[in-house]
Chains A and B, each alone.
Chain A
Amino acid sequence: MTSFLLSLTGGLLAALAAPWLTRRFPKRSGWLLALAPLGILVSLMNLLPALRNGESPSVSLAWAESLGLSATFQLDGLGALLAALVAGIGALVLIYGGAYLSGHPNLTRFYVVVLLFMTAMLGLAVSANALLLFIFWELTSITSFLLIGFEHERPAARAAAWQALLVTGGGGLALLAGFILLGNLTGSYEIPQWIAQKEVIAASPQSTAAFLLILAGAMTKSAQFPFHFWLPNAMEAPTPVSAYLHSATMVKAGVFLLARLLPALGGLPAWQGLIPWIGLATLLTGALLSLGQADLKKLLAYTTVASLGALVMLLGINTPLSVKAAMVFLPAHALYKGALFLVAGGVDHAVHTRDIRDLGGLGRAMPLTAAAAGLAALSMAGIPPFFGFIAKEVVYESALGAPALAAWVTALTILANIILAAAAGWVALAPFWEKARKDLHPHEGGAGLWLPPLILAALGLVSGLLPELAAKNWIAPAVSSVLGKPYEVKLSLWHGLNLPLLFSLITLLAAVLLYTLRVAARSADADAWQHLARFGPAAMYARGLKGLLSFAALQTRLLQSGYLRVYVLFITLFTVGMALPPALLSMRALPPAVWTGVRFYDVILVLIIVTAAFFVVRATSRLATIALLGAIGFSIAILFLLYSAPDLAMTQFAVETLTVILFVLVIYRLPKFSRLSSRPARLRDILIAGLGGLMMTLLMLVVSYHGQDSRLASFFMENSLPKAYGRNVVNVILVDFRGFDTLGEITVLAIAAVGVFALVRGAAKRKGERHE
């Protein structure tokens, strides 16, 4: 296992080497870089015997132990299946990408980000710690964002990248919240711990919330209805990226997550009650919307949405049979869909169009690409002896065993499959063997362009012919790890005459019929799809995003006016709104004002303060203002003196004196008092200021009524002499107990002095320069 983890760093090393390799071997860079994923694949193969025996090797690295976190990696059958697809298709995509983007100025960036993505995806496959898994999950979202926006000069690519990031990133946040809920519930973030504590999880009322949050994460990542819209838009990415991330691997992460957590959460009633319907809705949406697509890649994207829906549906049904079907369908789909995307890219590369209405007759000029297309399409259509046929048989078998409304589920699945089979023909047969509608000059590309899709498509045929090989090595360990117990998987082409075979036959016949009919239907339908799109979730997303932006603009205009008084206004109003009602309510509990102990000079001092405050507001002369402020300051100093704070009194006296000197020095340089506000504004401000003052008075009364906590005061009083050898406790606090605070405060004073000096001297200097 350690050697496998080490081999993962090969992906990162390759990413580091990519810039140099691309410069040194511009033609062969893809082939060379593909060695990294191939090495990972070999190292994975070495672990297969252990996995077949039901072992799941793991390595745990210390991470943040004080938080109870460790980076636990564990390889089981499920992880191995995903890792094999990621590494294997990764190698092919690097080769293909090198040829497809040959000469592109940003080829290096493609390599680097694809390799980073691959490493993150492999990390996701082997994470046994939920937080570790989350980090890899987010890394795949970010690399996906970078790759969708690969051609960032085009606004459409940028918009699609943002959309994908916002949708999957939002889901990622929900996922994290769900993980944290489960972590709190079980006291661990290790997924095996969650599985061991599934009864604890099932018994808690929080588990449904956690499940829904995690489901939201899986749904956005795997483009489930109603979040499916980002995936077709992600086709803005270069075709190798679409093949790799947005069909074969990354979008499978949501499916993988559900499979990973099925042992822990599968027992929740919401699992079987909700997930199958989400999957079925996605299956139908994807299949139906694919009918309106003329762009090869968009058409493939919608069929991918449909297939992802089927996978989610199968996991939601949650029977051993349906789990098996999911684990068969997952690699089958990755193989044929990856191949078809690469074929679409090859077509685009050769004739610079992907519009099905224009394509035709490419078969003669591009025989190898055509062969790959044909093989992949036959698998997609579910024709024996391809792997896709076996997958479809088990899917039908599972649909018949659905927990509720099995007949409906089966019927709708057949309907969707008819459309998907027809779409396979449309993607792979029409461009190559139908009559060309436009003058095209096709030519076969280099080996880098036709070999990868051919390998993928051929694997679909080999797996179909030798199903036991795939079943024993990959499918059985995966199913066993999802079910949590050894499970024997038998796959064969011939099951005898049964219901699924009949359904397959119906599917094929109907698909052929649909395929021939749609030639005429396609172009006529275009407008109808436009109308439909207006009510789809994509339109809602657009409206939501627009609404969010205009709300942000509105609140910025409202709150961020740039005028100090508006900020103060909002802060005061908000504080008053929050604090005044509770203060008023608690007033009833207060005793009536106590006048005992009030001396007449107290009253006089407070009267001076209140009166001066009143007149300072009305003052129009600068001198009067300074005098009134001084009156307030000196009155407060006397209050300090009367109430046992001689240090404060002295400080206040000294500062008042110095403040007066300060004002005397600058007063004639200050502007005169002018009344600028209008009368309504002044009345409004008087009201707000009055409320603010009232609130503060009430709060002070409430606080003093509830009594003060004197623990701190008595601590300082008792420890001042024995610990700090000082009798003036105030001074001891300043220079000893809280010396660090004082150090900070005198630093602030020094900065204020520097500021004053800089302002005066800086201005004088600038003035001098201006006069020169």
Chain B
Amino acid sequence: MTFLLALAAGALFAAGIYMILRRSLVKILVGLLLLGYAVNLLLFNSAVLVPGRPPLIPAGQTVPPEISADPLAQALILTAIVISFGVTAFVVVLIRQAYQVVGTDDLNEMRCTDIPCEDSELKDGKEGGA
């Protein structure tokens, strides 16, 4: 199973890297999400995979079961999943905002920060007129 998971993670990494190399902002967002999945799988696969043995101490017992999944890797992934939601939300809004302001999602065209290029020119013109 380790082999299969490694294969799946590799495919996700490859797809993620390819998408993050694009010029379009939306595709970069997709790449980011794919890389997030890939990293979670990587973390998951770094611990021993055991089916049907969650890291719980059964009720009524005081000692942990002899075999169980790795709780630390799971704790790491759990926060990673929630954080990636926060990051995704932020990036989505950032892209939406950038697209609205600049009017393009082509990274090559995004040469101005904050203020749209034509806006700043307009402003200059106004000041010159006044």
> Within the complex, are A and B direct neighbours (CB within 8 Å)?
yes
In the complex, the answer to whether A727 meets B28 with C-beta atoms within 8 Å is no
Complex CA gap A686/B58 in Å reads: 48
Interface string of A206-228 (1 = CB under 8 A from B): 00000000000000000000000
Q: Which residues of A contact B (CB under 8 A)?
A: 563-565, 568-569, 572, 593-594, 597-598, 602-603, 606, 609-610, 613-614, 616-617, 622, 625, 629, 632-633, 636, 639-640, 642-648, 651-652, 655, 658-659, 662-663, 666, 669-671, 673-674, 676-677, 685-686, 688-690, 692-694, 696-697, 700-701, 703-704, 708, 710, 712-713, 716-718, 720-722, 727-730, 732-734, 738, 741-742, 745, 748-749, 752-753, 755-756, 759-760, 763
Interface string of B23-37 (1 = CB under 8 A from A): 111111010011001
Residue of B nearest to A636 (CB): B37
Q: Which residues of B contact A (CB under 8 A)?
A: 1-28, 30, 33-34, 37-38, 40-42, 44-59, 62-64, 68-75, 77-79, 81-90, 92-97, 99-101, 104-108
Residue of A nearest to B94 (CB): A759
Contacts of A720 on B, CB cut-off 8 Å? 57, 64, 71
In the complex, the answer to whether A713 meets B71 with C-beta atoms within 8 Å is yes
In the complex, the answer to whether B25 meets A676 with C-beta atoms within 8 Å is no
In the complex, the answer to whether B71 meets A733 with C-beta atoms within 8 Å is yes
Closest 4 A/B residue pairs (Cβ): A693-B14, A697-B10, A752-B86, A689-B18
Contacts of B24 on A, CB cut-off 8 Å? 671, 673-674, 676
Min CB distance B2 to A, Å, is: 5
Complex CA gap A13/B84 in Å reads: 58
Complex CA gap A521/B103 in Å reads: 74
In the complex, the answer to whether A763 meets B50 with C-beta atoms within 8 Å is no
Contacts of A718 on B, CB cut-off 8 Å? 63-64
Complex CA gap A564/B127 in Å reads: 35
Residue of B nearest to A640 (CB): B44
Contacts of A643 on B, CB cut-off 8 Å? 1, 44, 49-51, 69
A652-B81, A671-B24, A729-B57 known; A633+B86 contact, CB < 8 A: no
In the complex, the answer to whether B82 meets A694 with C-beta atoms within 8 Å is no
In the complex, the answer to whether B78 meets A647 with C-beta atoms within 8 Å is yes
In the complex, the answer to whether A645 meets B54 with C-beta atoms within 8 Å is yes
- In addition to A643-B69, A733-B71, 13 A-B residue pairs with Cβ atoms within 8 Å of each other are A565-B107, A616-B19, A616-B30, A617-B15, A640-B44, A643-B1, A655-B81, A662-B88, A670-B95, A689-B14, A692-B14, A700-B2, A718-B63
Residue of A nearest to B53 (CB): A644
Checking B34, B46, B90, B104 against A703 with a beta-carbon cut-off of 8 angstroms, the contacting residue is B46
Contacts of B72 on A, CB cut-off 8 Å? 712-713, 716, 733
Complex CA gap A647/B84 in Å reads: 16
Checking A617, A636, A677, A760 against B41 with a beta-carbon cut-off of 8 angstroms, the contacting residue is A636
In the complex, the answer to whether B105 meets A671 with C-beta atoms within 8 Å is yes
Residue of B nearest to A571 (CB): B17
In the complex, the answer to whether A625 meets B30 with C-beta atoms within 8 Å is yes
Checking B15, B22, B59 against A613 with a beta-carbon cut-off of 8 angstroms, the contacting residue is B15
In the complex, the answer to whether A676 meets B97 with C-beta atoms within 8 Å is no
In the complex, the answer to whether B3 meets A593 with C-beta atoms within 8 Å is yes
In the complex, the answer to whether B45 meets A717 with C-beta atoms within 8 Å is no
Contacts of A602 on B, CB cut-off 8 Å? 1, 4
Contacts of B77 on A, CB cut-off 8 Å? 640, 645, 648
Contacts of A610 on B, CB cut-off 8 Å? 7-8, 11
Residue of A nearest to B4 (CB): A606
In the complex, the answer to whether A733 meets B75 with C-beta atoms within 8 Å is yes
A-B contact pairs, 16 of them (CB 8 A): A563-B107, A616-B34, A617-B15, A643-B44, A644-B53, A648-B81, A655-B81, A671-B25, A689-B15, A689-B21, A694-B14, A700-B46, A704-B46, A733-B75, A734-B75, A749-B86
